[in-house]
Amino acid sequence: MSDLAIDYGDHERVCEVVDRLMYCAEHVSVSFDGWEEPHVKGPGLYFAVIGDSDYGAYADPMGDNRWPRDTAPSVFDGGVLATAAESVSVAQDGGVVVAVDGEIEAQMVRFRDLGTRDEETDLVDDVSYEPWMGSRHMSAIETSVRPEVVATVTLSEETGRVSVFRDGEANSMRREEIGGRWRGE
What is the structure's pLDDT at 166? 93
> What is the arithmetic mean of pLDDT over 103-113?
95
Q: Distances in Å between the alpha carbon of 116 and those of 85, 122, 165? A: 30, 11, 20
Q: Is pLDDT at 76 greater than 50 in this prediction?
A: yes
* Mean pLDDT value across residues 69-82: 93
Alpha-carbon distance of 90 to 93, in angstroms, equals 8
Percent over 90 (pLDDT), the chain: 62
pLDDT, residue 176, reads 83
* Poorest-pLDDT segment among 43-52, 126-135, 175-184: 175-184
Residue 106 pLDDT > 50, yes or no? yes
pLDDT value at residue 1: 35
pLDDT, residue 50, reads: 95
At residue 5 the predicted structure's pLDDT band, cuts being 50, 70 and 90, is: very low
Average pLDDT over residues 156-161: 92
For the chain, give the mean pLDDT.
87
Identify which of 94, 92, 93, 68 has the alpha carbon closest to the alpha carbon of residue 80: 68
pLDDT for position 3: 45
Q: Can you give the pTM of this predicted structure?
A: 0.88
CA distances to 37, 60, 99, 107, 138 from 110, in Å: 28, 5, 16, 10, 12
- Average pLDDT on 73-85 reads 92
pLDDT at 117: 67
Largest CA distance in the chain: 49
Strands in 17-102 per DSSP E: 45-50, 59-66, 96-99
DSSP secondary structure code for residue 157 in this structure: T
